[in-house]
Structure 1
Amino acid sequence: MTESMTSRHHENANDLRDRITTGCIKPGARLPSEAALADRYRVSTVTLRRALAVIQGEGLIEKIHGKGNFVRRPLRKIMYVGGWGTLDPWTAADVALHVTVRRATVQARGHLATLLKLPAGSPLAEFVCVSHTGDAPHGLARVYIPRDLAPAGVLDQQTLCREAVTRFAVLCAPPAVVRETVRARPPTPEEASTLRTHSTAPILAITRVATDATGRVVEAAFLAFPGDRVDAVFTTHAMTYERQTRA
């Protein structure tokens, strides 16, 4: 990339950013086509796409396949409560929140079999849940339960089941221990497409493993949230240790 090309695409990004942040282009508005923008700025479509990638990476626009580039509406952040393995009740109670669920039976393989402490090939119930506020996706959960622990009615229209799905909570019986591993990373192509986020924008990825009182792993879940749409809160409790004195 030449220095002039680098300068031009940053100039184009700066102009589009200014037009969006000052309200000249309103939230939800569709940008002109890439060809029209390239013609307006008198640059190639390659340079124009680099400019769009800059402001998309900043979260100002989103590209919807087959429709074009749109100015993103301000998104309310959700809260994930660590230790309970769930979205906070206020988020779950939002009337605009809805969750789609896809169910399947799969086999335990590789890392998943290791997490669940099951032989490879063991049958699992898989639940793929995507939460939306309005038309904006803000969370993706893949939940795996040993098939013998997931009765057919686990997601029937019962109040507790609906609440568990809405809050991304543990779907099986209340566990004795929930272990969560949290990290920031780039999204996979599937996550970027489902959550409508840029491939370079970090997501908050949580691996959750639930264990019952006997030590059996009863559920493993992989949660993904766009980093700009979630806060994760973890509360620790101080423990007091008493020294034992020798007689």
Structure 2
Amino acid sequence: MQSVPSRRHVIADDIRDKISTGWIKDGECLPSEAQLASRYAVSTATLRSALSVLQGEGLVEKIHGKGNFARYPRRRVMYVGGACTLRTESSPESALRVIVRTTNLQAHGQLTSLLRVPESSPLTEFFCLSHEGESPHSLARLYIPRDLSPTDVPAESHCCKSIEANLAELRPPLAEVRERVSARLPTPEEAATLRISSALSVLAITRVASDSTGRVVEAALLVLPSDRSDAIFTTHHMTDERTSGG
């Protein structure tokens, strides 16, 4: 016996169809939740449950104090594992705009273990928030020992590549890059910053890079929403000369 779709899924299907066909434009503010609840003849709780389905799919973005906005599916980007700096790959037409905010701080909590430094050691944080149009796409926090950080970086910049180039010049050659990848739900802060549903999983990548002496010269924490991100890691196998020789 075929089950009857719940009201929240019927509503979600209707709004999804209106977005996909262009009846509701990208970036358009939906009617208020009270108006939508009245239109579909359901309670506000049921209406919000339907919207949460679409928020989890990335088709509806709720902005606190402003309302719910239609969003076409985000372009997917590729995170390339093993890179020396923050890097995503995408086609030219899907290039993301990145805002970088720079802050000097002292090591604490997780940062002391990631960078293997004592509490209160001077660090520089680069908070990178990428945007697709006006909507946040993904975020990353990059932590560098203060002595390896450029001294002339502005508090806010729109040029990520120039900062990456400066960092590469100051630090010693990398000998090892370790990355840990996990899928989890976003923290309340991450959900608010990226304007995503708290039910949408994110790809969390922790990357630690060290030089030939074993010193950690970079620690990065990346958060990529699962509806718009992929990751690729390539393993290079070295041929053992002792077994390949004649």
Corresponding residue to 2:161 among 157, 160, 163: 163
Amino acid at match of 2:180: T
* Corresponding residue of 1:235: 234
Q: 1:27 Cα deviation (Å)?
A: 2.6
Q: Partner of 1:46: helix, strand, or coil?
A: helix
* Corresponding residue of 1:211: 210
Identity of aligned residues (%): 58
* Corresponding residue of 1:103: 102
Give the Cα separation in 1 of the matches to 2:39 and 2:190. 33
Relative distance call for 1:191 and 1:170 in structure 2 (3 A) is farther
Q: Which runs of 5+ in 1 are unaligned?
A: none
Q: Which runs of 5+ in 2 are unaligned?
A: none
Q: Deviations over 1:148-198 (max 9, x none)?
A: 22231256999xx8415579x978524222211111111111111111211
Are the counterparts in 2 of residues 106 and 123 from structure 1 also a CA contact under 8 Å? yes
Give the Cα separation in 1 of the matches to 2:141 and 2:29. 32
Q: 1:101 Cα deviation (Å)?
A: 1.8
> What's the TM-score, normalizing by structure 2?
0.83
Give the Cα separation in 1 of the matches to 2:174 and 2:107. 21
Amino acid at match of 1:163: K
* Corresponding residue of 2:53: 54
Relative distance call for 1:17 and 1:74 in structure 2 (3 A) is closer
Amino acid at match of 1:87: R
* Corresponding residue of 1:19: 18
Q: 1:96 Cα deviation (Å)?
A: 5.2
Give the Cα separation in 2 of the matches to 1:207 and 1:84. 12
Give the Cα separation in 2 of the matches to 1:123 and 1:131. 26
Relative distance call for 1:166 and 1:137 in structure 2 (3 A) is farther
Compare 42-51 and 217-226 and name the one that shifted more: 42-51
Relative distance call for 1:239 and 1:153 in structure 2 (3 A) is same
Q: 1:11 Cα deviation (Å)?
A: 2.8
Relative distance call for 1:119 and 1:136 in structure 2 (3 A) is same
For the pair 1:36 / 2:35, whether they are aligned, the reply is yes
Q: Map of 1:1-247 to 2, 5 A cutoff?
A: 7-85=6-84, 86-88=86-88, 97-153=96-152, 162-163=160-161, 165=163, 173=171, 174-243=173-242
Q: 1:204 Cα deviation (Å)?
A: 1.1
Q: 1:206 Cα deviation (Å)?
A: 0.8
Give the Cα separation in 2 of the matches to 1:141 and 1:69. 25
Q: 1:75 Cα deviation (Å)?
A: 2.0
| Number of residue pairs the alignment of both structures matches | 236
Give the Cα separation in 2 of the matches to 1:166 and 1:138. 20
> What's the TM-score, normalizing by structure 1?
0.83
